Chains A and B, each alone.
Chain A
Amino acid sequence: MDFTLSKEHQLLRKLFRSFTEEEVKPLAEEVDEEERYPIETVEKMAKYGFMGIPFPKEYGGEGGDNLGYTIAVEELSRYCGTTGVILSAHTSLCASPIYEFGSEEQKQKYLVPLAKGEKIGAFALTEPNAGTDAAAQQTTAVLEGDHYIINGSKIFITNGGYADYYIVMAMTDKSAGTRGISAFIIEKEFEGFRIGKKEKKMGIRGSATCELVFENCKVPKENIIGKEGKGFKVAMKTLDGGRIGIAAQALGIAQGALDETVHYVKERKQFGRPISKFQNTQFELADMKTKVEAARLLVYQAAVAKDRREPYSHFAAMAKLYAAEVAMEVTTKAVQLHGGYGYTREYPVERMMRDAKITEIYEGTSEVQKMVISAHLLK
């Protein structure tokens, strides 16, 4: 057991950090205020190879690992939760399932441009009537000749509109329940596919969250991932991995809020001295720091387990559950320690607090993580 990062990972962190400070931090406030997708940052991330970190070089990736990718999401999220989730949805939810479950042709056609960052990816499972109960899918896919005809809609899709490729779940056989769900790769340009409403959100406001509409959408037969009826498995495995990404996002948000606070309490003076001299401030900071470190170990443990190809769903669930709760708690305290200033939009901590909340909800709510963890425990 070794709790220090390898040289390689330390160098990676340095790279991601300097990128975040130079490219992400200056835009974070504007992206939030204007609810604007930071497309220029995404293009730069593509240039630096961030969009395909854990995939082999032969598929256009960087040949890195999940720990490296996790650190990337963490570092980006330290200043901008929006940028963190853009990378996470792209890598974990779209490129990953193609890498893990796609055919060789699919990998060549779709994974390569995704990993190179030439194309952006998204993942579409949630529907108006199928959120936590993801198996209650109503979108249908019917095979007609060489094509599947897809009808239905998806909601809350991260990267919606900006993504070129979408992993979409649909029912190929209603009577078979979860075994009747199949996964498809759908291109933005496919006939009958349209982007619907963009949601207005509390946080991660720069990340486009959209409705997808399929009206007799024609999808070539060969765009099914794996076999018919295997889609639910693809979705669940994909989410296991995605949860590490969201855990990393939560971790980054918490760390960012902590950094801001440490800096602030040393400067702000009341009663003739910096507020960092009050013991309450010190103890709050101690709690925040301890929780962030605990969350970090859980997150890295899950990433390393995945890299070692060991079972990791329960690790991913624990990491996401805990890191999200820590992010919520730490950002709330960060606002408190900033006093009235923390409540204004002049300081970044209120944005971090708004961004933190979503990590307890998407890619499976905290409650779902508890179901996964307890099921593992009691099996």
Chain B
Amino acid sequence: MNKGIFVFIEQREGTIQKVAFELLGKANELAETTNSQVTAILLGHEIASQGEHLIHAGADEVLYVDSQDYQHYVTEYYTQALTAVIKEHEPEIFLFGATAIGRDLAPRVSARIHTGLTADCTKLEIDEETGLLFMTRPAFGGNIMATIICPEFRPQMATVRPGVMQVLTLDESRQGNIKKFYFQLIKEKNKIEIIDIVHESKHKINIEDAKILISGGRGVGSKENFNKLYDLADVLDAEVSSSRAVVDAGWQDRQRQVGQTGKTVRPNLYFACGISGAIQHVAGMEDSDLIIAINKNSESPIFEVADVGIVGDLNVILPKLTEALKVKLNEK
């Protein structure tokens, strides 16, 4: 019998992060092929009551540590707890979300356990022949997909990119054990003291990290008209970026400029609204996964790089698109 698949449940201020549910979904699927169990590892303060929810989301068992020391993420404390969990239970597989916390925690745990870790995986599957976990991740800026195995050491560890795996539908009839995990925390080893946790206002501009960018060019016409882009961005949970012409006109902050002398972006979706597509702009966005161009001039060079091209007035199209998307997303 396989020794099980463990999932690190990331919580922030007591709220379980979405990526944890995605990992439970994936773990559940892997457990089916290997005929094993899914264990959720929950660390936090006054958090045990949330264990049930994890069972409904796909865990067979929850191990929790409930203590003041675990209220916030502290690398050393978390590492000690997970190392102890692994030593005691010897799982086959251990999954983390590839978040800032997961990326900090997983390598420390793997080094202390002395096992392999694959970072930022986008695909996980069990190889039928060997029973090994095939961990696939994009390498070299996404140009190569590498599939990595960890044949000898255990557990096989991976951090998994958030948003890639499917969340299971909650099943309230599921039953499972929720157990406290006991171990001896050695506080002296900690070298980090949290002085303050600052919540940055959501509007710190970081267009490079946005999954969706609504980008406006001179064709937007005015600073006020950019509101139409922000409206769409709100609906899609996207950021707004721009061409240099817009920055020069003072309609946008320089931080939002895409292009050779601005930022290079490669979001999943790039809306080019009223952007002609000068090479200095295109060089900064042509690697976006999907490019949708809205321009009233059908001869604009932007259409050469666009996957979807709409010839028309963005002042008319954007509000309609925003409305339609609102309706569609509400249906969901």
Q: Is A197 an interface residue (CB 8 A)?
A: yes
Q: Are B299 and A174 in contact (CB under 8 A)?
A: yes
B96 → chain A, closest Cβ, in Å?
A: 45
Q: Are B280 and A211 in contact (CB under 8 A)?
A: no
Q: Are B244 and A197 in contact (CB under 8 A)?
A: yes
B245 → chain A, closest Cβ, in Å?
A: 7
Chain A residues whose C-beta falls within 8 Å of the C-beta of B245 in the assembled complex: 153, 196-197, 211, 213
A195 → chain B, closest Cβ, in Å?
A: 11
B296 → chain A, closest Cβ, in Å?
A: 10
User: What's the Cα separation between A153 and B276 when bound, in Å?
Assistant: 10
Q: Are A151 and B297 in contact (CB under 8 A)?
A: yes
Q: Is B235 an interface residue (CB 8 A)?
A: no
Q: Are A138 and B248 in contact (CB under 8 A)?
A: no
Chain B residues whose C-beta falls within 8 Å of the C-beta of A140 in the assembled complex: 299
Main secondary structure, interface of A, reads: strand
User: What's the Cα separation between A127 and B244 when bound, in Å?
Assistant: 14
B302 → chain A, closest Cβ, in Å?
A: 11
Q: Is B145 an interface residue (CB 8 A)?
A: no
Given the interface pairs A196-B245, A196-B248, A197-B248, the reply to whether A138 lies near B301 with Cβ below 8 Å is: yes
- Specify the chain B residue showing the minimal Cβ separation from A127: B278
Chain B residues whose C-beta falls within 8 Å of the C-beta of A26 in the assembled complex: none
Q: Is B218 an interface residue (CB 8 A)?
A: yes
Q: Is B279 an interface residue (CB 8 A)?
A: yes
Q: Is A129 an interface residue (CB 8 A)?
A: yes
Q: Number of residues in B with C-beta < 8 Å to the partner?
A: 13
Chain B residues whose C-beta falls within 8 Å of the C-beta of A129 in the assembled complex: 278-279, 301
* Chain B positions 250-283 with a Cβ under 8 Å from a chain A Cβ: 276, 278-281
Interface centre among A128, A129, A140, A153, by most chain B C-beta atoms within 10 angstroms, is A128
Q: Are A211 and B248 in contact (CB under 8 A)?
A: yes
User: What's the Cα separation between A211 and B248 when bound, in Å?
Assistant: 10
* Chain A positions 72-128 with a Cβ under 8 Å from a chain B Cβ: 127-128
Chain B residues whose C-beta falls within 8 Å of the C-beta of A127 in the assembled complex: 278
User: What's the Cα separation between A197 and B248 when bound, in Å?
Assistant: 6
A41 → chain B, closest Cβ, in Å?
A: 28
Cβ contacts A196-213/B at 8 Å (1 or 0 each)? 110000000000000101
Chain A residues whose C-beta falls within 8 Å of the C-beta of B278 in the assembled complex: 127-129
Interface centre among A129, A174, A213, by most chain B C-beta atoms within 10 angstroms, is A129
Chain A residues whose C-beta falls within 8 Å of the C-beta of B279 in the assembled complex: 128-129
Give the residue of B218, B249, B276, B281 whose beta carbon is less than 8 angstroms from that of A138. Answer: B276
User: What's the Cα separation between A129 and B248 when bound, in Å?
Assistant: 19
User: What's the Cα separation between A153 and B297 when bound, in Å?
Assistant: 14
Q: Are A213 and B218 in contact (CB under 8 A)?
A: yes
Cβ contacts A174-202/B at 8 Å (1 or 0 each)? 10000000000000000000001100000
Q: List 21 A-B contacts (CB under 8 A).
A: A127-B278, A128-B276, A128-B278, A128-B280, A129-B278, A129-B301, A138-B276, A138-B301, A140-B299, A153-B245, A153-B276, A174-B299, A196-B245, A196-B248, A196-B249, A197-B244, A197-B245, A197-B248, A211-B245, A211-B248, A213-B245
- List residues of A whose CB falls within 8 A of some B CB: 127-129, 138, 140, 151, 153, 174, 196-197, 211, 213
